[in-house]
Chain A
Amino acid sequence: MTALPPGTRARADGQLETLPRNAPAGVRRRALLTQARRRSLAGLLFVLPGVLPLIVFVVYPALNSLVMSLTNWDLTGHRDFVGVQNYLDLASNSQFLHALVTTAEFALGVAIPGAVLAFVLALLLDAGVRYTAWYQPLLFFPVVLPSVVSAILWAVMYQGGGVINNLLGTKVGWLTDPSWALFSLIVLLLWTNVGYYTVIMLAGVRDVPREYYEAARTDGAAWFGLIRHVTLPLVRPALLFIVVIATADSLTLFAQPYLMTRGGPGDATRMLSELIYDTAFNFQNIGKAAAMTFVLLVAALSVAFVQFRILRSSHD
């Protein structure tokens, strides 16, 4: 689009008209804006209330973190530009690499069982088994429980003489045995979030037109066939949403591991979010922590991209 010369305006026939010098200022100003520009400006003003907070609270802090990751800022004073040194250091930082792997294991342990559990529970709820009205709020209850409360509750249950060992007749150190600690945290996060995932999945399941089931039954499909060939393909958007959200929940989980294991035993449950917190605020190495944050961000975006590619519906 070509800008109009100052002091002119476009006539209805498309010709340029030079405005007289004594034309009112408002008319001269309006003339500077073509109709298309005015429309763009109006659109911009409409989206500004939504975009501005995004810039201030998301884009700006993210870019600020990126700048920080290129420094050796110690929170209180020294801040020198070190280029990509923090990123290079991470490549040989065994604790960071271990935390990256642990975070990935945890995310995998939550996302896939979370989606499967949500699907099964949604099917049960959709089938209208007895007392569904009771089960639904019960399933959702852990979602509204503060994470600190659920962490303390489960820490007590996981103790050597706790209710879980008593029920199972075992003597497992759920939080103190390195082979069980991560699993114990996965169970806790599943318990906390599966109600939310189920609500999403239930909406997806109930969205499937009933006629499709009738048509499939007419063609001789059994229960498993209905689930496999009708329900599953049509709830893929909900499934994708749950997997992405569960992965994001796992990647950013902080309160429960921090309160229950502090990353231990050893490094068995040390995930990136806790390592970033420690590095930034306990060790006051903001530059390094910011670099870790960006690696986590890139990893999260990559995982989300792959999940979208795998799970998106064919007609998308």
Chain B
Amino acid sequence: MTGRKAWLVLPMLLALATQACSSAPAGDATAGTGAGEQIQLSYWNHINKPSNDYETKLIADYEAANPNVKINYLTVNDADMQTKLTTAIAGGTGPDLVNQDQSFLPALVAQGAVVPADLSAMGLNDNAGFDQKYSATIAKGYSIGGTIYAIPFEVSSYAFWANGAIFKEAGLDPVADFPKTYDDLIRVGKKIQESGAAKEGIALTMYAAGRDLIQLDAMARQAGGSLVSDDGKTPQLSTAPVAKALQMWADLARVHKVNDPSLGPTASTNAEDLLGNGTAAMVNTGGSWLIGVLKAQYPDVYSNYVVGQWPTFAGGPAIGGDLYGYGLMVTKLSKNQAEAWKFAKYMTDHASDYFTNTGIWLGDTATLNSDATKSFPHWDVFSASFQRGSFLPPIVKTNEFSQVVSRAVQRAVLNGEPVEAVLADAQKEAQPLFQ
């Protein structure tokens, strides 16, 4: 072999050797921890200032009560969490405990990245205990094939928000004229725009695949269908209810013009920002957490906001935004799984205080019916919204599917392409993702 060839072959061999070595399956890293043994626990959560601040306090208290435990707390941008998590796990450096969007649970379970929840460590004993503490509806969002993998650590759904000051400026009553159907929404939106009180009636989500997915699914449920079959095995994009939902979305922008996508949101902003800065009079993306955001960032809107249920199709069922949530999951890589579940239980035991401090409901029935929620502004709206919504069925390739849906929404709403054709293409794209 000449020297020149050796230079080329050497890195190739190195690459093959690394591939071969890294192909070896990771062994079960579970290990027991003896009393007094120093434990480093890594916990990841998405960025949300109120909850991050409160969790920092909880962690300090936990470390004080357990001097042998040190918790490394890392906050990650929500949109990047799944990418960072799977990349870290692939590199063998993932967290012990993570609070992750439950829609990614099927993918994480399929990859063997997370372990089943230790229900006894969580003081729940079995699935019936889980259903009792949370609910059977919530259990659906946190289990795969009857096995519970995550403990709810935020359950929410989008309500419908309006800026009361803009309504009044347009000569509308924020309560009496609060839209109950899409026809109401169109009428009110047009009146607001004609009066010049706001540039657009309603800001709708765009360029945010996860949000686009749950918004279209909720509208499809209102129209009598859903994006995916109940068992999560068949996409149902090319169906009449989904077409009705997407047509309404497109018509709000293109026919009735009460939504103007050119005003935003962009890929790096949210629809709520347009409500906050007075561009839009209404928005349908925002759970109870939006109250805190308005209070901190948009005090003028905070003092004038009105919140209620999503409008529905005239004569259609009273269905609100899809339920979505986050859950505490322990990774398979964790060498301290028992301690991770112990810490998870400690945090969920503070559900009521967590709600009081952050406005985020951890999904438990006790907090839902407690004094803490009763004194929370408009809790009746959010509580009713939870009853009216449901989780998307488990989808292993959530990311790909949400991108397919998001592209379909963009083609119909922004490009003005015929809804049926767009959905037929989307169905064709989605089909292989469910095989």
Please, which residues of chain A bring their CB within 8 A of the CB of B113?
76
User: Is residue B435 within 8 Å, beta carbon to beta carbon, of the partner chain?
Assistant: no
Q: How many contacts between A and B, using CB within 8 angstroms? A: 119
Please, which residues of chain B bring their CB within 8 A of the CB of A259?
266-268
Task: Tell me if B82 and A77 are in contact (CB < 8 A).
Answer: no
Which of A67, A268, A282 has most chain B Cβ within 10 Å? A282
Please, which residues of chain B bring their CB within 8 A of the CB of A264?
206-207, 267, 406-407, 410, 414
B94 to chain A, nearest CB (A): 10
User: Is residue B421 within 8 Å, beta carbon to beta carbon, of the partner chain?
Assistant: no
Given contacts A63-B15, A76-B111, A266-B415, contact A161 B263 (CB under 8 A): yes
User: Is residue A289 within 8 Å, beta carbon to beta carbon, of the partner chain?
Assistant: no
A151 to chain B, nearest CB (A): 7
Task: Tell me if A75 and B86 are in contact (CB < 8 A).
Answer: yes
A-contacting 9-mer, from B157-165, B183-191, B395-403: B395-403
User: Is residue A246 within 8 Å, beta carbon to beta carbon, of the partner chain?
Assistant: no
Task: Tell me if A282 and B83 are in contact (CB < 8 A).
Answer: yes
Please, which residues of chain B bring their CB within 8 A of the CB of A173?
261-262, 414
Within the assembled complex, what's the spacing in Å between the Cα atoms of A178 and B414?
Answer: 8
State which residues 254-272 of B face A: CB under 8 Å.
260-264, 266-269
Chain A residue at minimum C-beta to C-beta distance from B94 = A76
State which residues 178-201 of B face A: CB under 8 Å.
199
Please, which residues of chain B bring their CB within 8 A of the CB of A79?
19, 23
Task: Tell me if A282 and B12 are in contact (CB < 8 A).
Answer: no
Within the assembled complex, what's the spacing in Å between the Cα atoms of A177 and B10?
Answer: 50
State which residues 30-65 of A face B: CB under 8 Å.
55, 59-60, 63-64
Chain A residue at minimum C-beta to C-beta distance from B12 = A63
Please, which residues of chain B bring their CB within 8 A of the CB of A75?
86-87, 90, 111
Q: How many residues of B contact A (CB 8 A)?
A: 46
Task: Tell me if A262 and B199 are in contact (CB < 8 A).
Answer: no
Task: Tell me if B207 and A60 are in contact (CB < 8 A).
Answer: no
Task: Tell me if A159 and B407 are in contact (CB < 8 A).
Answer: no
Please, which residues of chain B bring their CB within 8 A of the CB of A262?
207, 209, 267, 406
A167 to chain B, nearest CB (A): 15
User: Is residue A307 within 8 Å, beta carbon to beta carbon, of the partner chain?
Assistant: no
Within the assembled complex, what's the spacing in Å between the Cα atoms of A260 and B262?
Answer: 12
B299 to chain A, nearest CB (A): 22
Query: Which among B11, B82, B206, B406 is the interface contact of A55 at CB below 8 angstroms?
Result: B11
User: Is residue B279 within 8 Å, beta carbon to beta carbon, of the partner chain?
Assistant: yes
User: Is residue A176 within 8 Å, beta carbon to beta carbon, of the partner chain?
Assistant: yes
Please, which residues of chain A bring their CB within 8 A of the CB of B209?
262
Within the assembled complex, what's the spacing in Å between the Cα atoms of A63 and B7?
Answer: 12
Task: Tell me if A281 and B19 are in contact (CB < 8 A).
Answer: no
A135 to chain B, nearest CB (A): 31
Please, which residues of chain B bring their CB within 8 A of the CB of A152?
268
User: Is residue B25 within 8 Å, beta carbon to beta carbon, of the partner chain?
Assistant: yes
Q: B-side binding surface: helix, strand, loop or mixed?
A: helix
User: Is residue A155 within 8 Å, beta carbon to beta carbon, of the partner chain?
Assistant: yes
A162 to chain B, nearest CB (A): 9
Task: Tell me if A160 and B263 are in contact (CB < 8 A).
Answer: yes
Query: Which among B107, B260, B267, B411 is the interface contact of A260 at CB below 8 angstroms?
Result: B267
B416 to chain A, nearest CB (A): 9
Please, which residues of chain B bring their CB within 8 A of the CB of A64?
15, 18-19
Within the assembled complex, what's the spacing in Å between the Cα atoms of A295 and B410?
Answer: 28
Please, which residues of chain A bring their CB within 8 A of the CB of B266?
155, 159, 175, 259-261
Task: Tell me if A177 and B414 are in contact (CB < 8 A).
Answer: yes
User: Is residue B377 within 8 Å, beta carbon to beta carbon, of the partner chain?
Assistant: no
Within the assembled complex, what's the spacing in Å between the Cα atoms of A12 and B112?
Answer: 70
Within the assembled complex, what's the spacing in Å between the Cα atoms of A267 and B112?
Answer: 32
B389 to chain A, nearest CB (A): 26
User: Is residue B136 within 8 Å, beta carbon to beta carbon, of the partner chain?
Assistant: no
User: Is residue B14 within 8 Å, beta carbon to beta carbon, of the partner chain?
Assistant: yes
Given contacts A67-B19, A161-B279, contact A176 B414 (CB under 8 A): yes
User: Is residue A172 within 8 Å, beta carbon to beta carbon, of the partner chain?
Assistant: yes
Which of A74, A177, A265, A268 has most chain B Cβ within 10 Å? A265
State which residues 208-226 of A face B: CB under 8 Å.
none
Please, which residues of chain A bring their CB within 8 A of the CB of B122?
none
User: Is residue B89 within 8 Å, beta carbon to beta carbon, of the partner chain?
Assistant: yes
State which residues 101-141 of B face A: CB under 8 Å.
107, 111-113
User: Is residue A206 within 8 Å, beta carbon to beta carbon, of the partner chain?
Assistant: no
Given contacts A64-B18, A74-B111, A283-B397, contact A267 B207 (CB under 8 A): no
Given contacts A64-B19, A79-B23, A281-B87, contact A160 B400 (CB under 8 A): no
Please, which residues of chain A bring their CB within 8 A of the CB of B262?
159-160, 171-177
Please, which residues of chain A bring their CB within 8 A of the CB of B15?
60, 63-64, 66-67
Please, which residues of chain B bring their CB within 8 A of the CB of A67?
12, 15-16, 19
Please, which residues of chain B bring their CB within 8 A of the CB of A159?
262-264, 266
Please, which residues of chain A bring their CB within 8 A of the CB of B400?
282-283
Chain B residue at minimum C-beta to C-beta distance from A285 = B400
B95 to chain A, nearest CB (A): 15
Further contacts, 6 of them, CB under 8 A, given A68-B19, A155-B268, A175-B262: A59-B11, A76-B86, A159-B262, A160-B199, A260-B267, A281-B86
Q: List 14 A-B contacts (CB under 8 A).
A: A67-B12, A74-B111, A75-B90, A152-B268, A155-B269, A161-B279, A178-B415, A260-B267, A262-B209, A265-B415, A266-B410, A266-B415, A282-B399, A284-B86
Give B residues with C-beta under 8 Å from A.
7, 10-12, 14-16, 18-19, 23, 25, 82-83, 86-87, 89-90, 107, 111-113, 199, 206-207, 209, 260-264, 266-269, 279, 397, 399-400, 403, 406-407, 410-411, 414-415, 417
